[in-house]
């Protein structure tokens, strides 16, 4: 008899975005002429930068010719991309990251989901609330938590409530934890951690021999110069942090797929009897066993993001999204809503009107304005009373969505 991994039965309902799609599909079925505008899932809308398209075209041509054809690539990623990442994302900011510390993948979702495999099941986990559901759900699946309590939080996990009072920035808990997921700029709240915030976390991790899993998928959206783009800008962080990045939002790769994580050579965790083990080797072992590398076409395209034209073009696209964010914040504030985020992140975290729940306001916007949002409570109980709006729409759609907000 085949038996299941019963940890899956602990998971609450479905993954958030399929549930949103279900509600939108049900509404559309009854209202087939309605034109929906999505400010829901954080998916990009602008086409790939021309420099990226050209690199993909060249890669396809190479694969179509027997003299330049390539089969399996290195599981950790092609050297040309790993070196471009180390040079452009890190050396340019004075951070020393070797190409052999970079692991290319098909995106940050998979990496942030998979990384927990190299840690033992009894690690105590800390996550923000609200949180990107992937961090917590994958740890539930792995048996690193107890069942969900009545408030939706999983037993055994340390939740760090992110509220208006603390600027939506989690502080190190009083209790000792082993693994901490941090996301800055944050999905879903749009808050960005400053240097002092990150310094507190690095100190905490060093004191507790904890590992920080730092998701920097939205670093390209930072507009304020004082906000760090990488946790490695903080001294001592190489010993305690793994960083995740993605080309999805930076360069419109949500459909192309390419991302990476950095596992520094000197970063260690411990065996049950306290012997240190380098995580770079462990992750490499896992990666080479379970992954055959991102496609050559995606990696060639990702490398083009670092070319002078690629940088100029992708920066231009990001500026468009951030102009949407500024317009949305302004419009919503004028309508009397309270908003957060949208300055260093493509997400706006908006308070629902008094007395309305996240799902209640989501449904109202869907039915009255045909605007799709994401209910804040889908990211955790502390997200109740908020909705998340993304700035990834086309400018004209964003404008229309704001007009529709005014009419509800």
Among 41, 91, 142, 395, binds ligand MLT (CB under 6 A): 41
Q: Could you write out the DSSP letters of every residue in 202-268?
A: HHHHHHHT-EEEEE-TTGGG--STTS-SSGGGSTTGGGTEEEEEESTTTSS-TTT--EEEE--TT-E
Site string for ligand MLT, 84-113 (x = CB under 6 A): -------------------------x----
- 76 burial (CB, 10 Å; 0-12 / 13-18 / 19+) is buried
Q: Are 377 and 397 in contact (CB under 8 A)?
A: no
What is d(CA 331, CA 66) in angstroms, rounded to the nearest whole number? 56
Nearer residue to ligand MLT within complex by CB, 41 or 91? 41
Helix (H, G, I), strand (E, B) or coil at 184: coil
Tell me, by CB under 6 A, how many residues bind ligand MLT: 6
Interface residue with ligand MLT among 187, 313, 352, 370 (CB under 6 A) is 187
User: Which one, 247 or 361, has the nearer CB to ligand MLT?
Assistant: 247
Smallest distance, ligand MLT to C-beta of residue 202, A? 25
Q: Report the residue from 20, 37, 39, 42 that binds ligand MLT according to the rule CB under 6 A.
A: 42
Of the candidate spans 36-44, 176-184, 293-301, 314-322, the one that interacts with ligand MLT by CB under 6 A turns out to be: 36-44
Q: Is 375 in the site for ligand MLT (CB under 6 A)?
A: no
Residue keyed to tokens 């600027």: 167
Closest CA to 89 of 260, 265, 289, 299: 260
Tell me which H or E stretch contains 197: helix 195-208
What's the residue count for the chain?
A: 408
Stretch that binds ligand MLT, among 38-46, 95-103, 200-208, 268-276 (CB under 6 A): 38-46
Q: Least distance from C-beta 248 to ligand MLT, angstroms?
A: 6
Q: Would you say 379 and 373 are in contact if contact means Cβ atoms under 8 Å apart?
A: no
Pick the closer one to ligand MLT by CB: 134 or 169. Answer: 134
Residue numbers 108-147 binding ligand MLT by CB under 6 A:
109
**339-341 and 179-183 strand pairing:** unpaired
Nearer to ligand MLT, 16 or 240 (CB): 16
Q: Which residue is nearest to ligand MLT (CB)?
A: 42
Residue among 43 and 100 whose Cβ is closer to ligand MLT: 43
Residues in the site for ligand MLT, rule: CB under 6 A?
A: 41-43, 109, 187, 248
């Amino acid at each position: 008899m085949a038996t299941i991994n019963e940890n899956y039965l602990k998971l609450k309902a479905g993954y958030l975005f399929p549930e949103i799609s279900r509600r939108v599909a049900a509404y559309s079925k009854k209202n087939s002429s309605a034109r929906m505008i999505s400010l829901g899932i954080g998916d990009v809308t602008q086409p790939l930068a021309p420099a990226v398209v050209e690199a993909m075209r060249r890669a396809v041509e190479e694969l179509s010719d027997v003299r330049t054809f390539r089969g399996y690539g290195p599981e950790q990623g092609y050297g040309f991309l790993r070196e471009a990442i180390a040079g452009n994302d890190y050396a340019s900011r004075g951070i020393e990251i070797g190409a052999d510390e970079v692991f290319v993948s098909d995106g940050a979702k998979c990496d942030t989901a998979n990384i927990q495999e190299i840690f033992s099941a009894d690690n105590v986990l800390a996550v923000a609330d609200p949180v990107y559901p992937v961090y917590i759900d994958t740890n539930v699946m792995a048996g690193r938590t107890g069942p969900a309590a009545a408030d939706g939080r999983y037993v055994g996990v340390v939740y760090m409530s992110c509220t208006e009072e603390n600027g939506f920035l989690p502080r190190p808990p009083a209790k000792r934890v082993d693994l901490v997921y941090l996301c800055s700029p944050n999905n879903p709240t749009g808050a960005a951690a400053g240097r002092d915030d990150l310094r507190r976390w690095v100190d905490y991790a060093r004191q507790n021999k904890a590992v920080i899993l730092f998701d920097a998928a939205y670093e390209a959206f930072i507009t304020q110069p004082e906000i760090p783009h990488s946790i490695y800008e903080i001294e001592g962080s190489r010993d305690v942090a793994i960083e995740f990045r993605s080309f999805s939002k930076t360069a419109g790769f949500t459909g192309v797929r390419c991302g990476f994580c950095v596992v520094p050579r000197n970063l260690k965790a411990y065996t049950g009897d306290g012997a240190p083990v380098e995580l770079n080797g462990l992750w490499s072992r896992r990666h080479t066993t379970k992954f055959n590398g991102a496609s050559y076409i995606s990696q060639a395209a990702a490398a083009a993001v670092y070319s002078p034209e690629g940088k100029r073009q992708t920066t231009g696209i990001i500026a468009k999204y951030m102009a949407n964010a500024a317009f949305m914040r302004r419009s919503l504030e004028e309508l009397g809503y309270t908003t957060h985020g949208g300055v260093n992140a493509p997400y706006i975290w908006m308070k629902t009107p008094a007395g309305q729940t996240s799902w209640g306001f989501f449904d109202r916007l869907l039915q009255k304005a045909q605007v799709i949002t994401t209910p804040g409570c889908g990211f955790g109980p502390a997200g109740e009373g908020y909705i998340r709006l993304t700035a990834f729409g086309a400018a004209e759609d964003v404008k229309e969505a704001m007009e529709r907000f005014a009419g509800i």
